[in-house]
Amino acid sequence: MDSSVSGFYKKSLEERIAIIKEAGQLTEEETAQLKKFAALDFEQANRMIENVIGVQQLPIGIATNFVVNGKDILIPMAIEEPSVVAAACNGARIARALGGFKSKASAPIMIGQIQIVNAEKGAEKKILKAKKELLEKANSMDKTLKKFGGGAKELKAEELKTQKGKMVIVQLLVDVRDAMGANAINTMCEAIAPKLEEISKGKVFLRIISNLAIHRTVKAKAVFSKKALEESFKGKIRGEEIVEAMLNAYAFAEADVFRACTHNKGIMNGIDAVGIATGQDFRAIEAGAHCYASWKNKGEYKPLTKYYKNEKGDLIGEIELPLAIGLVGGATRTHPIAKTCVKILGVKTANELAEIMACVGLANNAAAIRALAVEGIQKGHMKLHARNIAVIAGAQGKDIEDVAEKMINENNVKVDRAKEILGEKN
Ligand code: NAD
C-alpha cells in the first residue's frame, strides 16, 4: 500500500472509503458504519458513561503520506479544527522524501502511587524489604497481564514532605502491555494497600495511577530535506531560507514559555486527533505530555520537539513524549468506529500505535512551524474557517463558497459580514 494517495482530498466519499477499505481490509459492515456518520446508538452510549442524552460527533479525516519505520500507513484523525489533517499530510509528505519517520517506543511501564499517612519512622525501608511479597500480591490480581509478559515489575518507597507533614509514597511500576493501564494499576494498588498499612503502621489514602508516564515514552525522528521544503513552496523560497526560518521558530519556543505552550499544542493537535479516533483517554495523554515537557527539563516547560540541521543543511526534527495509550480496555474495544480506526492503522500492539502517534505529532509540529515561519498560518486556515463562518451566517450550497471567497478577499471573515454578503446576493 502506498500512503501517498494522490488527490485524496479531491475524491468523493465513496472513493475515499474504497481506498480505506482496501488498505485496512475493512468489512462491508465496517465501511457501512463509517458511511452512516452515526457511531453509537443509545444502548452503546449508555453503557459507556452515565446520564446519556445524545452523542457528540467529530469528523474523521485521513492523513496521507505517512511512512513510519519503513511502512506506509493511512492515519485516521478525529478533530473539530480545520487544517490539522492537512498539516499532518503536509508534514508527512515533506518527511517522506527522505524515507519518512523512525519511531521507537519504550516498554509500556506505568506508575501507580500509594499514599501512606502517619507511617512509623523507617517505614520505607521495611516496605522495600517486603518488595517480593508485595509484587506477588499485585501480580496475583491480573493473571492476564502476567500471561502476556506484563505485570508489576518494581516497587519503590520514599518519604515526601508535604504541607500536611511527612508521608510515605509507594510507587508500583507495572508493565501494562497493550493496555492504557489505569484500571489494571489502580486494582493492584488497592490490593497491596492493606499489607502496606500493616508494614508501615500508617493509613493508606490515595491508590491511583500517575499520568506522568516517564517510563513509557516514545521517540520519533524525521529529516525534512531542504529540497522537499523548497518544493513545498513550489520553488518560490529557497530551501536554506525555510530551514533557517523553521529553526528560528524552534529557537523562539525553546526560549519562551508562552510560545512553547502553543508549540506543544500544535503537536497535540495531531496526537489527540489519532487518540480520539482510536478511542484513547486523551486527557491522560494531554496531562502526561505537558507535565513531561517540564519534568524532563527540571521544572522548566519546554517544547516536546527539537530541531537542528545536519551537515547537508537539511532539517532534523525529533520528538519525545510519554504516550499512555491502549488497544484493550477503555473505548478502543467498545466503540465501533474506534475499532475500525485501529484496523485502518493496522497496528497490533499499543507500542506500534504510540510510535505512529508520536510521528503524527512531529509531522503536525513541523508543518505548523513551516507555515507560521514562512507563509503565516492564516492563509491555509482561513479558507475552511471562512466556509464555516458562511454556514453560521446561513449560507447554503454554492453561496457558502461565494461568501467565503469574498470574505477572504476582503480580509474580513466575520459572521456579520457574511450575513451582509448573503443579503446583497439575495
Ligand atoms: P482495562 O482494565 O479495561 O483493560 C486492561 C486489562 O485488560 C488488563 O488488566 C488485562 O487484564 C487485560 N488484557 C487483555 N489483553 C491484554 C494485553 N494484550 N495487554 C494488556 N492487558 C490485557 O483498561 P486499563 O487500560 O487498565 O484502563 C484504561 C481506562 O482507565 C481508560 O478508560 C481510562 O480512561 C480509565 N482511567 C484513567 C485514569 C487516569 O488516567 N488517571 C484513572 C482511572 C481510570
- Ramachandran region of residue 14, left (φ > 0), alpha (ψ -120 to 50) or beta? alpha
Q: In this structure, which long-range contacts are made by residues 304-311, counting pairs with CB atoms below 8 Å and at least 24 apart in sequence?
A: 304/264, 304/267, 304/361, 305/250, 305/263, 305/267, 305/361, 305/362, 305/365, 305/366, 306/250, 307/246, 307/247, 307/250, 307/366, 307/369, 308/247, 309/243, 309/247, 310/223
Residue list, ligand 1 pocket, CB within 6 Å:
142, 144-145, 148, 150, 176-184, 209, 211, 281, 284, 326, 328-330
CA triple 320-104-224, angle to 5 deg = 65
Distance 329 CA to ligand 1 centre (A): 5
Which protein residue's CA is at the shortest distance from atom 40 of ligand 1? 284
Q: What digits encode the pLDDT tens for the residues 219-270?
A: 999 999 999 999 998 888 899 999 999 999 999 999 999 999 999 999 999 9
> What pLDDT is stored for residue 128 in this prediction?
98
> What pLDDT is stored for residue 208 in this prediction?
98
> What pLDDT is stored for residue 259 in this prediction?
98
- Domain coordinates in residue numbering, the chain: 8-106+216-375, 109-210, 380-425
Residue 281: active-site member: yes
Average pLDDT (198-209) is: 98
Residue 13 grid coordinates:
466519499
Taking a C-beta distance cutoff of 8 angstroms, is the pair 270, 263 a contact? no
Q: What digits encode the pLDDT tens for the residues 71-114?
A: 999 999 999 999 999 999 999 999 999 999 999 999 999 999 99
Q: Which CATH architecture has domain 8-106+216-375?
A: Alpha-Beta Complex (3.90)
Q: Is pLDDT above 90 for 380?
A: no
The helix (run of H) or strand (run of E) holding residue 146 is helix 143-147
Average pLDDT (2-17) is: 94
Q: Specify the range with the lowest mean pLDDT, choosing from 28-37, 199-208, 375-384.
A: 375-384
Q: Supply the mean pLDDT for the chain.
A: 95
3-class SS at 199? helix
pTM reported for the whole predicted model: 0.91
Which residues have C-beta within 8 Å of that of residue 379, sequence separation ≥ 6? 371
CATH class name, domain 109-210: alpha beta
Residue 81: active-site member: yes
Q: Is the dihedral of CA 70, 73, 78, 81 positive or negative?
A: positive
> What pLDDT is stored for residue 411 in this prediction?
84
Residue 381: active-site member: yes
Q: Cα-flanking dihedrals φ and ψ of residue 286, to 5°?
A: -60, -50
> What pLDDT is stored for residue 374 in this prediction?
87
Q: What is the DSSP string of 391-413?
A: HHTT--THHHHHHHHHHHHHT--
> What pLDDT is stored for residue 40 in this prediction?
94
Q: Given this chain, do its domains 8-106+216-375 and 380-425 carry the same CATH topology?
A: no
> Residue 405: how many CB atoms within 10 A of its CB?
15
Report percent pLDDT > 90 for the chain.
Answer: 91
Q: How confident is the model at residue 379 (pLDDT cuts 50, 70, 90)?
A: low
Taking a C-beta distance cutoff of 8 angstroms, is the pair 129, 149 a contact? no
Q: What is the CATH number of domain 380-425?
A: 1.10.8
Checking DSSP bridges between strand 109-117 and strand 305-309, what pairing results, if any?
unpaired
d(CA 75, CA 60): 10
Distance 276 CA to ligand 1 centre (A): 16
Distance 230 CA to ligand 1 centre (A): 45
Q: Is pLDDT above 60 for 378?
A: no
Average pLDDT (159-177) is: 98
Taking a C-beta distance cutoff of 8 angstroms, is the pair 183, 174 a contact? no
> What pLDDT is stored for residue 426 in this prediction?
73
Question: What are the Cα distances from residue 171, in Å, to 40, 158, 168?
Answer: 38, 8, 10
Catalytic residue among 102, 227, 309, 381: 381
